[in-house]
Amino acid sequence: MTVITIDKDICTGCKECSKVCPAFAIEGDLHKPQEVVEARCTNCGQCVQKCKSYISLVDHGAEVYAKKRAERGLPETVTEPLFAAYNISNIQEVIAALKDPSKYTIVQAAPAVRVALAEDFGMPLGSLTPWKMAAAFREIGFKRVYDTNWSADLTIMEEGTELVQRVTKGGVLPMFTSCCPGWVKYLEDTHPNLTKHLSTCKSPQQMAGAVFKTYSAKISKVDPKTIYSVSVMPCTAKKFECNRPEMKDSGFQDVDVVLTTRELSYLIKYFGIDFAALKDEEFDLPLGEYTGAGTIFGVTGGVMEAAIRTGYTLITGKELEDVDIMSVRSTEGFRKAAIQVGDLTLKVGVLTNLKNIEPVLEQVEAGTLDVHFLEVMTCPEGCVSGGGQPKLLSDTDIPEAYGNRRKATFVHDKELPKRKSHLNEGIKKIYSEFLKEPCGEKSHHLLHTTYKGCEGGHHH
């Protein structure tokens, strides 16, 4: 499935996109239209963020503009410039589903969406608006407003348990995080021999999708066949991920469709909602409750920090007193840290921006990378800088936007009453009522997966 396209009619061949592509998937001569090589593309959408060649209503006239807008499946309420590099839009499908009374619509939104969405409504860079976003979802007409932050907490329970099992029982180490679909596809395409290092955990998006059509259908007394599950992501690669053939463990496609943060802002405008004026509302329970650990998934190093906060308890049976783990908080390319967890010195690595991955993978292949756990994020500062986030037209805004979104994420973490995944009541509830235990039989079937290249990997 092609997620990212470069429109040959609009591209001027400036090659800015190929400079940011971490997978060298964009080809073409200077000043000639560029092309995305699908086999190599990780769908990360950094080219979409970078592209400066556009057509607009003002400069190119209504007819040309309307034709391009229609080609991209965008609603008529969209009037902003259309750029050469773009991701496929699924907004029309979502509008149709919202208008179909036979569909039970459920929405989830990733941690990074709530620190960027407001930028598309003229609010300051990095505004934190989770509760306005929840209100917008209800106003749009979603029947259940759940949250990917909840399933980020769920992912930590599964991934933390898996890590402890690998470390104590002699499993494949280092274990790699598996929540970034651009990274997962890159590894499958370029180093299939290393996919056994990936955590078998699905990403938070996909775990939520599997839960919505099983457990959630039960507690809401809804026929899972009627559930239409929409996920809002800062990420264009999530569109690819939800269509992977492995992602059907609920008995259906676990997540029906993914919208980017930008598409959500189109949707809010399409329904004529004044975002800035919305009153705060809460997410629906139990699958809308989240902790600080769930929310920091949106920044580089956040998955690692969340995992340590809970892994500490899984290993020692005690609570970690100081949850601010500064040694993994930075945005530089690759960093390592050692954290004392009871008798174990847990060695971790955090990698930001796929452009920095090859030397690290060489060490893994040589057996010289001395870490138990490696987090990898494809985008420059993790999900807050994803390909589906609001587009920053001026390059000078980029450091400020990324910095502010990151800051807002940690502010949110600090303000939340609970900051560890295992303390989330909604998480305790699903284990007691449905999953029983992390990495147990039910979890294994619904929440874990396999990858290309894993010979004899974890098949169901």
Half-sphere exposure of 287 (CA within 13 A, CB side): 27
Q: How many CB atoms lie within 10 A of CB 93?
A: 15
Asked about 375 being catalytic, the answer comes back as no
Asked about 281 being catalytic, the answer comes back as no
Angle between helices 261-270 and 91-98 (to 10 degrees): 50
CA distance 164 to 112: 27
Q: Which of 162, 263, 289, 305 is catalytic?
A: 162
Report how far Cα 237 is from the mean position of its chain's Cα atoms: 8
CA distance 244 to 359: 28
CA distances (Å), origin 135, targets 199, 257, 279, 389, 434: 35, 21, 7, 20, 29
Q: Which of 44, 383, 439, 454 is catalytic?
A: 383
Asked about 93 being catalytic, the answer comes back as no
Q: Which of 159, 289, 305, 381 is catalytic?
A: 159
Q: Which of 16, 35, 188, 246 is catalytic?
A: 246
Angle between helices 148-169 and 302-316 (to 10 degrees): 50
Asked about 102 being catalytic, the answer comes back as no
Q: Which of 53, 199, 231, 443 is catalytic?
A: 199
Asked about 246 being catalytic, the answer comes back as yes
Q: Which of 196, 238, 239, 269 is catalytic?
A: 238
Give the type of residue at 63: E
Pairing of strands 26-27, 35-36: antiparallel
Asked about 321 being catalytic, the answer comes back as no
CA distance 221 to 215: 10
CA distance 266 to 459: 39
- Dihedral sign from CA coordinates of 209, 214, 217, 222: positive
The residues annotated with a catalytic role in the active site are 159, 162, 179, 199, 238, 241, 246, 383
